[in-house]
């Protein structure tokens, strides 16, 4: 396993739609292992393949508590087939630097896809797991959680990010 760089907004690949997986091979297994290593080191609770520069429909997540054993879930070609209820929760993202916002999501989802061996699976999740699934599947469709906030809030974030990136660039030139 190897830790990969997590791409950050405004990287263009984060806005691209990931392609369905048609072949589960050693390369894909390595990607999944690398994604898990990256997510746990970040630390995060979920990761989509385009966040590490790969446009495959693959997500992983683990919402287990830090004092519990890891419970990694891998989903290939995930698709939300049912969603209901409404929940508002603060979300952040490993690819959206220094920002969190309250986002409306479905409270319960049913998602179908394949596990890492290619076996079909269906997950029925609610609460945090449902939120994470929707967030990560959005990534595969080129959607970031900031697309769910008002245009004004998004523009304010973009301005703040631009300023932050300029400050980091100036600092790195000095070093």
Catalytic residues, which ones?
Answer: 136
Contact 140, 78 (CB under 8 A): yes
Residue found under tokens 């890891």: 70
What backbone phi and psi angles, to 5 degrees, belong to 2?
-140, 140
Strands laid side by side in the 120-126 sheet: 46-48, 58-61, 73-84, 108-114, 120-126
> What gap in Å lies between CA 94 and CA 28, rounded to an integer?
21
Contact 111, 141 (CB under 8 A): no
Contact 49, 56 (CB under 8 A): yes
């Amino acid at each position: 396993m190897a830790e990969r760089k997590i791409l950050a907004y405004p990287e263009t690949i984060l806005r691209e739609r990931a392609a369905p997986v048609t072949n589960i091979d050693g390369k894909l297994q390595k990607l999944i292992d690398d994604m898990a290593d990256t997510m746990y080191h970040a630390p995060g609770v979920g990761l989509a393949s385009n966040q590490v520069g790969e446009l495959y429909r693959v997500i992983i997540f683990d919402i287990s508590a830090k004092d519990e054993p890891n419970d990694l879930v891998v989903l290939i070609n995930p698709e939300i087939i049912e969603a209901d209820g409404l929940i508002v929760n603060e979300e952040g993202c490993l690819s959206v630097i220094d920002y969190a916002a309250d986002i409306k999501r479905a409270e319960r989802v049913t998602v179908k896809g394949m596990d890492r061996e290619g076996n079909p699976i269906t997950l029925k999740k609610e609460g945090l797991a449902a939120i994470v699934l929707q967030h990560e599947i959005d990534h595969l469709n080129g959607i970031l959680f900031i697309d769910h906030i008002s245009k004004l809030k998004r523009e304010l974030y973009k301005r703040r990010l631009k300023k932050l990136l300029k400050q980091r660039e100036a600092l790195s030139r000095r070093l």
